[in-house]
Amino acid sequence: MGHETDFAALIGSRICHDLVSPIGAINNGLELIEMSRPSISPEMALISESVTNASARIRFFRIAFGAASDQVVGRPEITAILADIYGPSRLTVSWTPLEGQPRHLVRLTFLALMCLETAMPYGGRIEVSEDEGQITLVGHADKYNFDETLWLPLAAGTPTGDLRPAQVQFGLLPVIARDEGRQLVVDTTPPVTIRFYPLTAPSPVTLYLKLVSWAAPTGPRACILPVAIPISAPMPNSPPSANWVEALCITIALSSVFINSSAAAASSVRMQSVWFEP
C-alpha cells in the first residue's frame, strides 16, 4: 500500500481511537443517570440516542478509514456496528457470513456500503455475502440515484480526483482494493452489485520448442528447448502475448548453442513444434 494511504489510515485510526474513550465515558454516565431516575426525559433520551449513534459511527469509521491487517473481526462485532449504524435509518444491511472476516476485507466492505448508501437515498436492503474470499454486496431498492461522476470511475476501477469529503469512499475503495490485490467489479444494473475478489497469483508455465537445424555436419539435428515463463492472471488490457514473444526471442538466442554458434547456419534453424505445460 502506498505511503500516502498508510498515513491517511493511521491518522483515521488515531482520531477514532482518541474519540472512542470520551464518548464511551459519556455513554456510561448517561446509563448511571438512567439508573438513578424512575423515568427518562425526552431530552435525556435524545442525548442517549445521539451518543449511541456517535459511538457506532466512530467504530464504523475506525474500520473503514483506519489501518487494516489480517486480524479477524468477529461476526458479533460486525453485526453490532451495522445494527447501530443502520438501525435508525431506512436502510437495512444483512450480513450473511457466519465466520469472522479479516479486518482488511471488512474495511473494503464498509467502504462499499458507504458507496451504496449514496445510490439508495430512499432506503432499501443491502445483502453482504462471502464465498471463498469473494465479497459481494447487492443493493435492493425501489428507486436508485446514481451520480455518474462517481460511479463511472468506480466501475472502471480508477479513483476520481474531484471529490467532496462526503464522497471520499469513492476514491478510497478502488485504491485500497488494488493495493490489497483485489479485483473490483461494479454493476449498476438493478439490483446494484459491488464485488471484489482476490486476483490469481502468477503461475509459472514452461514453453517447449522443438528446433531442427539442417546445417549440422551429420545431418538434420533436433533439440527441445524449455523456457520457463511467468504468466500472470488474465487482466483487462494486458494480454500475455508479449510474454510469448519474449520467450521466442530468448529461445532463438539460445539456439546459437544448438547450432555451435554458427551465424551462417542460423537461417537453417526451423521451429518444428511448440507446446507448453503448467
* Count of beta carbons in the 10 Å neighbourhood of residue 189: 6
**Residue 206, C-beta contacts closer than 8 angstroms, at least 6 positions apart:** 226, 227, 228, 229, 276, 277, 278
Contact (Cβ atoms closer than 8 angstroms) between residue 73 and residue 63: yes
**Stronger pLDDT, 182 or 29, i.e. the higher one:** 182
pLDDT tens column, 47-85: 777 888 888 888 899 899 888 888 999 999 999 999 989
User: Is the pLDDT confidence value at 43 over 90?
Assistant: no
- Predicted model pTM: 0.66
Classify 88-199 by CATH class.
alpha beta
Strands 221-231 and 192-198, by their bridges, are: unpaired
pLDDT tens column, 126-152: 999 999 889 999 999 999 999 989 998
Q: In this predicted structure, what is the pLDDT of residue 204?
A: 55
Which cell numbers in the block locate residue 273? Answer: 513444434
Listed range (26-30, 151-155, 194-198) with the worst mean pLDDT: 26-30
Sign of the CA dihedral running 111, 113, 116, 121: negative
Which cell numbers in the block locate residue 230? Answer: 511467468
